[in-house]
Structure 1
């Protein structure tokens, strides 16, 4: 005997946005929904597709959306992408249905896969016409990306905005909303036949004889009828809210609703006191009748939701998107341990060895409790075992910490003439591609940003850091001058990884004309005080070999061996003429798991145990007059035993490509992304 809930899963596909797709061509997304238990998958069955944008052929609508019943998947319409930051309006809703045990089955998985073809390099109108006449998507399209979401607490009504993000070469995002509705219950025998009232009675009250007790009636009523009514009312509130918003905007004429009042069970008496009988079979009939009436109301609300998604897809997405960003911001802040200090900056500190242990314990508590997460979350970013944990120390010279936040910052897609320029600079022996993931994350949340990935020092990082700084400065000036006349740079911020953070500082004296625009300086594991001392002998030996074989001026400068006296070295002179006071905010990010760059050097700190006098002077030079300084130690969930972890490289690289960390960083400093 099995008692299952019948659940509809609405996935409303609102729009698609190109972040940084490298290839022009045709794209579509395949979506499946399923529950996974051990090695088995229970697929939700796609039953219907609503396509709100129907009509003549356009490049954004080459083939209509369809259902593939063979693998229980939904395929969005096929569309062409030709331009950067191109947006495709989708307005499609796929409805899946699944039968699920309500209290024992696992989470719901939503799996999206991105497919692409360039039609053999021929995207001419003739080639498109030939494809449309014989659309063999199975043979000419290749899967180029995937994204997986987990839905928790989804069986009694889930309504959430979800950005389905694809990364790497095919960086793009599909904006969807997910809605689940518990429609009814189905009772089957072990042979999958519908159960009789007598069988249902025994299933609902397995420990009762001929008569049932009050507490058993209360339990069944709560588990089956109250949960059904709760789900109905949750969807009803959402539909009513969207219709109210649309009415305010003057758009309500497109749909007339017939929403009935919410389901209530009035009275102070327990439901069991409303039953004058206790015969198990008769009580079962009464409960089934009550369930049937509630299910009829659920069906009406479900139909209203379908109509609203068809008419007001954009409004639904915008309403839930703001709530989504608020929730993610709150969750991100929960993953940050913060300490605020007002007054003079402390440059001599004692390492906190408990932070790593704290991070592991926190991750473990989240994983075991499955709490403090989104109802539907990207497993690559929000899964407890993937979370980066941040320990932030904030120093403000005077005043108080202002920590503004508005979800609308991430929802506003209005293009302004005033733009915030972010300059991203790679590290030693790196390339601009190293910064691509960071760029994609910035553009994902704030399309209006200007992002310059520096390429002027590719293949030149063996030389003098001063020369690298001049090349970077010239590159920034040339980029600003190349902008259209209607675009005004209102802020300039820099993010440098490893050596890149030092190159930025070396470029600042050549960028004095833009001093008033400089807003934020962010270094990711940059050795501001040099690399004279290492915690990993393998790294130290490797740098010594490189400096000898390649005759690397840069390595000599970073290890403070470019002059006989440390006080005549390049980094010491750079510290004496530091220009970090130009910036309103300075953020120094590092990881105690990183052995490539000395931890204290990346934080502009001196260890309490053995401070070197000249490094103490360097730290003092750099820190002088910084108005607001953030020091962040990032703890990554790095699996022990990885080869890259033996010499600390895993954490060093994770500062550039760990999705959890980059997501938390963007939400933590969301106000930095604004143009003003």
Structure 2
């Protein structure tokens, strides 16, 4: 340990700590594993619990192989999205076997500071350190002073996971733990105490399948109260350990042997490790080839790979010299056509379990050393390449991670297509409730669409509880910790129909799981067509602005979690968290809309002037996100004349539980009683407007007139988020669709509702946009942990959960990233 620290001190003075030098390429005696013809004897397979025949064990010592997993963690950048406190921060990392608890901690083995921090800066204090008591690694402390601040950490720490206690490979996963350590500041800026405390924790699970080879981006966000982004990449391989001699012994872990000799019983563990090293080698070769194509860096492995199957390579290590080596390679070629087993990368595997078990102990030992040297050479080649091209490797792995989100998070997302009706009619029961397939069966169980949606989500949640996640990806424990607690998102893409006709109906068509990917591809291709053509001028820029509007009695930071996810997808977006209507949401929607319009136009002009000073402005994308009545305020603002010049720039509109059709038909009696009290006791104007009591004539009410205004037709993308558990906003109102109460209502009230509904949908059908995406997303939260209380009973819990959880936003936004860029 002292020698390691001295080496680090010497390296740090040169602003770089380099890893151990890479070994030379494998020589002709150690470049590939020795092989021979597979013995034709049929192996004996032992059933579980069956004892093997009593062999006569050899009494001489035998070689026992050891191996270990090395996990290299590159900590590239710390980006402050939304930390509430200034102060000194640092990242602490520990790693352990999942089944072994804290007694099976991984050991830090080496550190590489590939870009030296600015030690002279006031924002950097001290150096990184390793704590031998808990085997943890901590980055150097850094000071956070403002939002959107970047801190380049540029350090790699590798951990060793020993396999000593396992017979062969481990079946346990690995838990990778990140802690955000924080030390506050005094008023004069000094650190409050020398010891930081743990402010937040983010854990990841590395499944056993990934331990033989993994190269993945791993973003660390911590939690909603400590919203940051730590850019991290994780790389794993299996390395050769020591070889020592021991007396052979029969253990219970061997289930397949070639014959009944004690030697074959003993060498099963050794054969497993040889096979694992072979897999680790192939994965490293494949990953290096991918990097060669993606980062445009020359990685010449031709000489290395060409010698892997060279007969001369084994002449010095096999009995019989070159003749035996030639026989070995011929056997491998024959096995390729007969065995046909698959490697993790999908290639045909000629090294079957039977073939490896047929090798003698001397041949296994030679193979172990040869493969171990090859893996070590490739591993150090990869680490050297990563260190020299860290930015390009990070971008490549981050893009691969973003593409994989659609597939990984599809567990909690259900996709379907819905035809938009040509026109809703007010007499009789609306035909749009009669569907086909599985949806129609569900609708027969209940007449309430909200209950139908909740039932559909609950059935899907129960099926998830029976799932066994068996993949090679790093699993975020915020999501994978308890699969049944994650929100279910039912995504309905509404297919556009022609403008209103005199008749028509809608129907539901569920997509099979296999069609979900084509559904996403279709949306992505249409979104790409909307992107503006690049200007020849390199300095031109597309100004992207997102306006977030809170709801009733809300705060301007209510939608901060959605904003943070938007910034992760598009870091260059300019975000306006509207403040002009804080403490003023009791008044008239028209007044609130005017104030918002003035705030937005002022913000847009300011950003336009800033861009114009640094270059040319090519285009503007103006998006809105509203929660609850914030959506009504947004639509009221769009009717103002000062917003007219900006309507052609409208891009994406995300409505989070917005009452677009008001409360003309509301089935929540408790909530309706609360609205009645607000009107009587406080005379709240916006509540009168929501309940259509602001004018005796329904056709003179605010909401009826708002539906006649063209507030939706200029958006390129419209996403309506609703929840059947939300009792604060009528389900149909949040989704802009038919409700059962209005379907059979032939009174004037029913006619007014139908006119509003048809007018709103006509705006979405309007041909002002060549390609418009219209989606309804049902979010079904798990509120079982909150128990039965007043909030869950009246439906407030789900309404507020939209503001306190960002998992649903992650699912939707990362599944359709083109809509938020």
TM-superposed deviation, 1:503: 0.7
- 1:256-313 deviations in whole A, cap 9, x for unaligned? 98983286783324768998998xxx94554344333322322222322332333222
Aligned to 1:453, which of 577, 588, 600?
577
- Structure 1 residues 372 and 363, CA, compared in 2 at 3 Å: closer, same or farther? farther
TM-superposed deviation, 1:564: 2.7
Deviates more, 1:203-212 or 1:467-476: 203-212
Aligned to 2:553, which of 425, 429, 453?
429
Unaligned runs of 5+ in 1: 188-193
- 1:641-666 deviations in whole A, cap 9, x for unaligned? 25332222222122233222111121
TM-superposed deviation, 1:499: 0.6
- Structure 1 residues 647 and 298, CA, compared in 2 at 3 Å: closer, same or farther? same
**What TM-score do the two structures reach when normalised by structure 1?**
0.85
Does the Cα contact within 8 Å between 1:534 and 1:595 map onto a contact in 2?
no
What does residue range 92-491 of structure 1 map to in structure 2 within 5 Å?
Answer: 92-100=155-163, 101=166, 105-123=171-189, 137-138=194-195, 141-152=196-207, 153-184=209-240, 196-199=246-249, 202=251, 205=254, 211=260, 223-243=272-292, 245-246=294-295, 248=296, 260-261=304-305, 266-269=332-335, 283-284=360-361, 286-333=363-410, 335-341=412-418, 344-345=421-422, 349-350=432-433, 351=449, 353=451, 355-371=453-469, 375-381=473-479, 383=481, 384-397=483-496, 402-404=523-525, 417-483=541-607, 484-486=609-611, 488=617, 490-491=620-621
- 1:392-445 deviations in whole A, cap 9, x for unaligned? 222343599643378xx9xxxx99732211111111111112111111111122
| SS class of match (1:110) | strand
Structure 2 partner of 1:651: 798
The structure where strand makes up a greater share of residues is 1
Unaligned runs of 5+ in 2: 1-63, 310-328, 340-350, 425-429, 434-448, 499-518, 532-537, 744-749, 766-771
Does the Cα contact within 8 Å between 2:405 and 2:815 map onto a contact in 1?
no
Deviates more, 1:100-109 or 1:62-71: 100-109
Structure 2 partner of 1:564: 696
Deviates more, 1:364-373 or 1:615-624: 364-373
TM-superposed deviation, 1:333: 4.9
Does the Cα contact within 8 Å between 1:394 and 1:631 map onto a contact in 2?
yes
- Structure 1 residues 203 and 228, CA, compared in 2 at 3 Å: closer, same or farther? farther
- 1:430-472 deviations in whole A, cap 9, x for unaligned? 1112111111111122101111111111101111111111111
Aligned to 1:13, which of 48, 67, 75?
75
- Structure 1 residues 296 and 480, CA, compared in 2 at 3 Å: closer, same or farther? same
Structure 1 partner of 2:812: 665
Structure 2 partner of 1:47: 109
CA–CA distance in structure 2, aligned partners of residues 216 and 608 of structure 1: 71
Does the Cα contact within 8 Å between 2:109 and 2:159 map onto a contact in 1?
yes
Does the Cα contact within 8 Å between 2:665 and 2:742 map onto a contact in 1?
no
Does the Cα contact within 8 Å between 1:7 and 1:181 map onto a contact in 2?
yes
CA–CA distance in structure 2, aligned partners of residues 337 and 110 of structure 1: 30
CA–CA distance in structure 1, aligned partners of residues 135 and 181 of structure 2: 17
CA–CA distance in structure 2, aligned partners of residues 83 and 630 of structure 1: 36
CA–CA distance in structure 2, aligned partners of residues 273 and 52 of structure 1: 41
- Structure 1 residues 526 and 343, CA, compared in 2 at 3 Å: closer, same or farther? closer
CA–CA distance in structure 1, aligned partners of residues 153 and 487 of structure 2: 34
Structure 1 partner of 2:347: none
CA–CA distance in structure 2, aligned partners of residues 288 and 203 of structure 1: 23
| SS class of match (1:519) | strand
Structure 2 partner of 1:57: 119
CA–CA distance in structure 1, aligned partners of residues 354 and 228 of structure 2: 56
TM-superposed deviation, 1:521: 1.9
Structure 2 partner of 1:613: 751
Structure 2 partner of 1:190: none
| SS class of match (1:574) | helix
Aligned to 1:66, which of 125, 129, 137?
129
Does the Cα contact within 8 Å between 1:9 and 1:179 map onto a contact in 2?
yes
- Structure 1 residues 113 and 374, CA, compared in 2 at 3 Å: closer, same or farther? same
Does the Cα contact within 8 Å between 1:16 and 1:174 map onto a contact in 2?
yes
CA–CA distance in structure 1, aligned partners of residues 353 and 597 of structure 2: 80
Q: How many residues align?
A: 641
Structure 2 partner of 1:638: 783
